[in-house]
Chain A
Amino acid sequence: GAGVSQSPRYKVTKRGQDVALRCDPISGHVSLYWYRQALGQGPEFLTYFNYEAQQDKSGLPNDRFSAERPEGSISTLTIQRTEQRDSAMYRCASSLLAGGRETQYFGPGTRLLVL
């Protein structure tokens, strides 16, 4: 596609429910990244993939958070048993090549509100 897309754009859920956030990277991009952005803060790294392999998940806050990219394209970030503190903007980015200095292109984000 022309850019990174994310769905849904907005998600309201009740505490305790599971949510799945989807990211569709730019076609052909090798690397895919997930970030979380609290209000008034910059994005913070969660995890990233090269192709289908998860390379680093050190930013995932706890084991309720998981991510996958089974075919090396679309990725899903899943939050189980959501809590109010999970409310944030979740951002996905992709880069053409793997490697630590490649420019990352961001999608519009998914705003999650846990009631």
Chain B
Amino acid sequence: GNSVTQMEGPVTLSEEAFLTINCTYTATGYPSLFWYVQYPGEGLQLLLKATKADDKGSNKGFEATYRKETTSFHLEKGSVQVSDSAVYFCAFLGGNTPLVFGKGTRLSVIA
């Protein structure tokens, strides 16, 4: 069935370190792919998205590329900041499915 598998956390990094959070999906067809972020005490916010193969979504220094051949949408950032500490959710949306989320990955960035 439809599912998203993302890297288990928590992930703890030092400021300015490189970040990768892996995400793979199982879906029929060609879904749209999303990363949502939840900062402490706040709701879910859309971070970035990609709607077709090889598209790259980017926002706030974060990037993710839609890889159809590996059914992946890994999130990367070259230099994390303390303010990036949050829970990150990978999700996909197919033509006939609701948003399907991964379990979330908690990121803590220490100064």
Contacts and interface: CB of A to CB of B under 8 A. Distances in A.
Interface string B31-44: 01010100000111
A33 B99 contact: yes
A40 B95 contact: no
Nearest to B43: A108
Interface residues of A, number: 24
Range for the number of chain B residues in contact with chain A: 20 to 34
Interface string B74-111: 00000000000000010101111111111110000000
Contacts of A48: 98
Given A40-B103, A100-B93, A106-B36, A45 B98 contact: yes
A106 B43 contact: yes
A100 B95 contact: yes
A13 to B, nearest CB: 22
A71 B91 CA distance: 29
A108 B38 CA distance: 10
B95 A101 contact: yes
Interface of A: 4, 33, 35, 40-45, 48, 56, 59, 91, 93, 100-109
Question: 3 closest pairs, A vs B, by CB?
Answer: A42-B101, A45-B98, A108-B43
